[in-house]
A and B are shown apart, each in its own frame.
Chain A
Amino acid sequence: MAETLTNGHAQSYVGTRTIRPDGVDKVTGRARFGADFSLPGQLIGRVLRSPHPHARIISIDTSKAEALPGVKAVITRADFADQPSEFIPAGEMMMNYKDVVRNVMAREKALYEGHAVAAVAATSTAIARRALKLIDVKYEVLPHVIDVVEAMEPGAPLLHDDLFTAGVEPKPEKPSNVAKRVEISLGDIEAGFKKADVVVEREFKTAPVHQGYIEPHAALASVSEDGSTELWCCTQGHFIVRAHCARLLGLDISKIRVTASEIGGGFGGKTVVYLEPLAIALSRKAKRPVKMVMSREEVFKASGPTSGATVKVKMGATKDGKFVAGFAELKYQAGAFQGSPVQPGVMCAYAPYDIENVKVIGYDVVSNRPKVAAYRAPGAPISEFAVESVVDEIAKKLRLDPIELRMMNAAREGTKAAYGPKFGPIGLEETLNSIKKTEHWNTPLRKWQGRGVASGFWFNIGGETCASLTINEDGTVSLMAGTPDIGGLRASLSMVAADELGIPYDKVRPIIGDTGSLGFTFLTGGSRSAFSGSMAIVEAAKQIKTELCARAAKLWELKPDQVEFSGGSVRALGSAAEKFKPMSIADFAKIAGKTGGPIGGYGRINAQGAGPSLGTHLVDLEVDPETGRVTILRYTVAQDAGRAIHPSYVEGQFQGGAVQGIGWALNEEYIYGEDGKLQNAGFLDYRMPVASDVPMIDAILVEVANPKHPYGVRGVGETPIVPPLGAIANAMEAATGIRFTELPMSPPKVLKALKEKGANGASGSDR
């Protein structure tokens, strides 16, 4: 597997398929996830949630619940101090503690069905459940609004009477549900459309979808009499959890120690807090550990999802296929509090293409739904779905091959993106080329079958990151990272550490440190953890190598420039090389005490230069004209990984993202009744893809090195969910002749469209 290099020491693990160091724990049931922690004397915490989508909370009487034997603490809004309105960046999204404190526990109003209103801690689940029934909440039920377009209408029920649309001049005099208007523009959009020979304009609608992680949120808090707080939880960022809890509970950051459990999926949905501050508040009151775990219904009703949206796209192209104008208007649901991912949606809409004239407008709109959380490339799948659908229509109108059309307009190194920067080296053209070369692209289809292609873009981020490497007494290495391992991070970082230090991979043992072990490390999100974590490891390894060289120079009485670290050893250079036998890390470890003490490196960086990752997806599907059911027959993903540290886990990101996108395109949606209540808050009715729904997903790794990373790495995790929506809609058009503009393309909708349009499935045999 790993090669031994000519020097006999160094091995090259990056690019190979190692076994993950945490693997055995995860196939034997030993790995401890959020709900797997327990403490002696722990209480069980449960949340009382609003049955109404919109209601003023007149009063909350907890006295009967508190009197129930076995109940040790009850908390409500009264247990959380109000927070001032202040926007702070939170990774790919913005947040405001005034809203966060209201989302974790309703204050003036309950703003969605499932909004937390009170919580109890009791000696058993049964008692906690009984206690919830004894809490008397008096509501004044208010009219609600669920749909984004309805929420924007002048007479719509108002969620927040202090919400005035930002980003418009003059400032509105009346509050509304439109939190924000954002706009980007490049060139002159009007002039662009004048140059166009063909213009396509369409309106699209997408449904809100949940991240769908299999592990429900879980937290276990223990607060001691002096306020020292320990918290175990499943999160994508335990340092972020610490920051939020400190702020919401008025604690010093140093008093809270958060340990991230293994995390059973997140996809962006575990970048915020729900149970964590409640568990701490209950434990603080009860002076006993409190464990809280959400039910699946609570996960659906009170966490995630991502926005549903209404999107208008208008694009113009010349008759030979050059895009000359791209306009879009995006209206994204934020849920009950502002902060939808409309900003990245706006920025990504046309990012895959080199277009001179672009204008994209976005609206962030609140309605009586759970507050959205980040979901894999937040905002991008929605806007790019709309644009990729229109690109396909332009190809059809101009009788151009959709891959050729994309190739002609592809963003490449030097392209100025409408959202600002000039791209460095990026790999869209390479992904298009590799798709074109596949046998898949060149295989004929039958009646009722269709083939679709679409590309996708995501920025990726870097950010604050710490990681340490410690040389143990026997020369083995302890690696500590500060971002939870959500899908192979320990393996990737260990491979980089092994290569940097020239030691065997199995001599590196990685752990995820708690918040007391490392400096602030931003969360696992933005496809950043392998990218920036490996940069921090390179920095830590550099410190070790520098230190070892200094020690060798001292031992050998040479000048610093007469020694170097290579192939896992420190070597004397030039004439001294014959005199001194190279010293390995293990050699130094043995004599560490006599040469200056323990050896280690600590990378503390603010990682910059995350290269965008672009991808192209190709899908074949078949429509059943009798039921409207769509079967995915074949699927190929090509994406630029920069450099794949661990190819299997990179492929896994491509495959998993594609299948999440398939679910988004075909089945998944939040279904609300007229009463504003969610009707499908369970896995049976919220229909995520299962194994029998999908084929094998072919993954093509394209590697256009990111020059800003020592190994050329780009984040890969998010881009794969961007293209599937458009690719599937385009394949549906190819199979049926019908342009589907509303997601999901679920059987009832497909059947209705087939009947209305009298489709005969003939277009599938075109290609």
Chain B
Amino acid sequence: MAKHHIEAIVNGDAVEFLCETEETLLDVLRDTLNLTGSKEGCASGDCGACSVTLDGRLVCSCLVLGCEVGGRRIETIEGMAKGETLHPLQQRFLEHAALQCGICTPGFLVASKALLERTPEPSEHEIRFWLAGNLCRCTGYDKIVSAVKDAAATMRKG
């Protein structure tokens, strides 16, 4: 079967690509568009390392097909910093040492950003349950939760 021709917006840029029916959005991002910041940890939607937003909604890109995203707006970790300025979440993750190996970090950042866009002042409880779809095996989550809280406070100050 012929490949699908898809046009979409990725991190603000218009992109077009060809993909097989069975290729996931994650495959397209990583293998076709060379955006390898989104990671594959499980390919079953359990680890959140491939988190992106699709028209503003947080999704696991391993559970979305490439051919589903025509005309839609995708934000990945690569679009999070603006020029030389890191997003407050990125900055706080560094300051709090909220990453050890760093493989889960892009997913956590994308998911946390989606949280703060909805809930500017999340409680620890809300942070923990929102991020329950993102696995981290290194940190025990402590410093991630602190970093998200701190970033939220920074962002509220504007």
| Residues in B whose Cβ lies below 8 Å from that of A510 | none
B103 touches A691 (CB 8 A): no
Is A215 in contact with B138, judged by CB distance below 8 angstroms?
no
Cβ distance B36 to chain A, nearest Cβ, rounded Å = 4
Is the CB–CB distance between B39 and A264 below 8 Å?
yes
- Let me know if A91 is at the binding interface, CB within 8 A: no
Contact with B along A288-303 (1 / 0, CB 8 A): 0000010110000000
Given contacts A32-B36, A212-B137, contact A27 B94 (CB under 8 A): yes
CB neighbours (8 Å) of B30 from chain A are 35-36
CA distance A651 to B134 in the complex (A): 21
Collect the chain A residues with CB atoms within 8 Å of residue B81's CB: 28
- Does A78 touch B at the CB level, under 8 Å? no
Given A27-B90, A692-B132, are A486 and B101 also a contact pair (CB < 8 Å)? yes
CB of B106 within 8 A of CB of A29, answer yes
State the Cβ distance, B139 to closest chain A Cβ, in Å.
Answer: 5
User: How many angstroms between the C-alpha atoms of A694 and B124 in the bound complex?
Assistant: 11
Among B93, B97, B136, B145, contact of A214 (Cβ-Cβ < 8 Å)? B136
Judge whether B54 is part of the interface by a CB distance below 8 angstroms. no
Specify the chain A residue showing the minimal Cβ separation from B101: A265
Closest Cβ of chain A: how far from B92's Cβ, in Å?
10
B128 CB–A CB distance under 8 Å: yes
- Does B103 lie within 8 Å of A215, measured CB to CB? yes
Whether a CB of chain B sits under 8 angstroms from the CB of A580 is no
CB <8 Å contact, B103 and A33: yes
Enumerate chain A residues within 8 angstroms of B127, measured Cβ to Cβ: 691
Residues of B near A27 (CB, < 8 A) are 80, 86, 90, 93-94, 99, 102, 105-106, 109
B135 at the interface (CB under 8 A from A): yes
Are B39 and A214 closer than 8 Å at their CB atoms? yes
**Are the C-beta atoms of B40 and A216 separated by less than 8 Å?**
yes
B70 near A: Cβ within 8 Å?
no
| B143 adjacent to chain A (CB < 8 Å) | yes
B100:A126 contact, CB within 8 angstroms? no
In the A-B complex, the 5 residue pairs with the closest CB atoms: A29-B37, A264-B103, A487-B100, A659-B140, A26-B102
Q: Which of A264, A657, A699 has the most CB of B within 10 A?
A: A264
Residues of chain A with a CB closer than 8 A to B44's CB:
296, 682-684
Chain B residues packing against A (C-beta within 8 Å): 20, 22, 30, 35-44, 46-47, 49, 76-78, 80-81, 86, 90, 93-97, 99-106, 109, 124, 127-129, 131-146
Report A-chain residues with C-beta under 8 Å of the C-beta of B80: 27-29
Q: A683-B46, A691-B128, A691-B145 are in contact. Are A126 and B20 (CB under 8 A)?
A: yes
In the assembled complex, the Cα of A55 lies from the Cα of B130 at a distance in Å of: 45
Inter-subunit contact A262/B41 (CB<8 Å) = no
Residue pairs across A and B with Cβ atoms less than 8 A apart, 10 shown, are: A28-B77, A28-B78, A29-B106, A33-B39, A265-B137, A683-B44, A683-B135, A689-B141, A696-B145, A699-B142
Which residues in window 472-487 of A have CB below 8 A to B?
Answer: 486-487
- What CA separation (Å) do A212 and B94 show in the bound complex? 23
How far does the alpha carbon of A534 sit from the alpha carbon of B92 in the complex, in Å? 27
User: A691 to chain B: which residues have CB within 8 Å?
Assistant: 127-129, 131-132, 134, 136, 141, 144-145
Residue A20 at the B interface, CB < 8 A? yes
Residues A29 and B36 in contact, CB atoms below 8 Å apart: yes
- What's the least CB distance linking A486 to chain B, in Å? 6
Contact partner of B141 (CB less than 8 A), chosen from A36, A262, A659, is A659
Partner of B102, one of A262, A267, A692: A262
Chain B residues lying within 8 Å of A295, measured Cβ to Cβ, are 43
Contacting residues, chain B, for A652 (C-beta < 8 A): 97, 100, 138-140, 142-143
Q: How would residues 646 to 690 of chain A score, 1 for a CB under 8 Å from any chain B CB and 0 otherwise?
A: 101101100111111000000000000000000000111000111
Residue from B30, B124, B140, B141 with most neighbouring chain A CB atoms (10 Å): B140
C-alpha gap A613/B145 in the complex (Å): 27
**Are A692 and B129 in contact, with the CB atoms below 8 A?**
yes
Q: Given the complex, which residues of A lie within 8 Å of B145, measured CB to CB?
A: 691, 696
Q: Contact at A296–B43, with CB atoms within 8 Å?
A: yes
Is A267 touching B137 in the complex (CB atoms < 8 A)? Answer: yes
**Chain A residues within an 8 Å CB radius of B49:** 214
Complex Cα–Cα for A296 and B86 (A): 32
Q: Which of B40, B78, B135, B141 contacts A29 (CB 8 A)?
A: B78
Q: Are A20 and B39 in contact (CB under 8 A)?
A: no
One of B37, B78, B132, B142 near A655 (C-beta < 8 A): B142
Q: How far apart sit A745 and B7, CA to CA, in the bound complex (Å)?
A: 50
In the bound complex, CA of A487 to CA of B138 (Å): 8
Distance between Cα atoms of A26 and B39 in the complex (Å): 12
- In this complex, the member of B86, B133, B138 whose beta carbon has the largest number of chain A beta carbons within 10 angstroms is B138
At the interface, yes or no: A17 with Cβ under 8 Å from chain B?
yes
- How many angstroms between the C-alpha atoms of A694 and B128 in the bound complex? 9
Residues of B with C-beta under 8 A to A684: 44, 46
Q: Give CA–CA (A657, B36) in the complex, Å.
A: 28
Smallest distance from the beta carbon of A759 to chain B beta carbons, Å? 28
Q: A215, B100: Cβ atoms under 8 Å?
A: no
Additional A-B contacts beyond A266-B101, A683-B41, A688-B137 (13; CB < 8 A): A17-B97, A24-B94, A29-B37, A30-B37, A214-B39, A214-B104, A215-B103, A262-B103, A264-B104, A296-B42, A646-B97, A648-B96, A651-B97
